[in-house]
Chains A and B, each alone.
Chain A
């Protein structure tokens, strides 16, 4: 079946199977910043924004996204660059595999919560796993980014 997706503001028509997940569809059309990790909703590396809300694309049927806006890290490139700079300042990234999804989730967090507490930030990011950096330096970088009003 054919569905339409508004990917990063651009309308795309894609042929999908009824039981196909959005992660597979996006990778099929060469959007490779959306990563496959655990493939069962636990690690967060497949996160995309559907209508601005972060969801795990590995468990979201492509047909459900028909006609909806799908944002990957390419769609927030200016903000993602800013987030990356804060990560760099704190030495909060190594292999970079989880960065696109983390940037998207942090971006969504900033949009959704006004002046979040440290606990709220931890809770929001609990399903974004990083297996090489650890979380202390990431949290510092995220706090600095959230405090940036520019």
Chain B
């Protein structure tokens, strides 16, 4: 990434107005993956001085400010109250501590990286995003549309839940991006299944979820049926890490295991 000028914003409104000036201006999140980008940025806007850090609990929701680092989230006791600590165990597998000390939750979400380990987990939880101008929106709606436009993410809200959440990152080495991410949950909202690193952006397996959620009881046969439905409805493709067919095989096996785990079968 080439940067022309750097601006340390003194208010959210100033950062927002600068962002609107030209599409060549950009917000600086954690900056961990800046080197992957060949983009030319006119003004790089830093939110470092706006107090967008911290994690707290508000009425059954965990609020995480957008510039909170992944390491701060991973080590926060409050995060253990979401899906029996699934966010900690997911973040723990992202590169090393040094990277997690700079990468932020806001940058991880807004960049919509296909290789994100975090997005599939947030998708199966009840996650809402708060933007400076647009206000509140579900993570699913944000990922599926461009409705938010050029705005600044200020806060991530995650509903507390006691249910176990299955997360599997399939990778070849400790520091590599995932070949596939599989995440399965069963909360009061029903079953949710998300797949990431397909290698595209993570998405929910809606048909399989609907199939499971209309059943009265779920046993081995229904689990097998749902796992094979996932492969039919989600689009997988090939890249240098794995072939499409391999990802399909992995998805079916790990969705099955994930469903069994959240059902304690």
- The interface of chain A, by Cβ under 8 A from chain B, is 1, 17-19, 39-42, 44, 47, 50, 53-56, 58-61, 63-64, 105, 123-128
Contact = CB atoms under 8 A, between A and B. Distances in A.
B99 interface: yes
A56 B3 contact: no
Contacts of A125: 96
Nearest to A127: B96
Given A60-B31, A123-B92, A47 B98 contact: yes
A126 B6 contact: no
Contact of A126 (B5, B8, B46, B174): B174
B48 A127 contact: no
A33 to B, nearest CB: 16
A18 B96 contact: no
Nearest to B36: A40
Interface in B5-53: 5-6, 8, 28, 31-36, 41, 44, 46, 48
B46 A41 contact: no
Interface range for B: 20 to 34
Given A44-B98, A56-B99, A18 B44 contact: yes
A85 to B, nearest CB: 24
A18 B102 contact: no
Given A19-B44, A53-B101, A59-B32, A127 B5 contact: no
A54 B98 contact: yes
B4 interface: yes
Interface string B56-80: 0000000000000001000000000
B253 interface: no
B185 to A, nearest CB: 24
B95 interface: yes
Contacts of A128: 96
B22 to A, nearest CB: 16
12 contacts: A19-B6, A41-B35, A41-B95, A42-B175, A44-B98, A53-B71, A55-B98, A60-B102, A61-B28, A64-B28, A124-B97, A126-B95
B2 interface: yes
A44 B99 CA distance: 9
Contacts of A50: 101
Contacts of B101: 50, 53-55
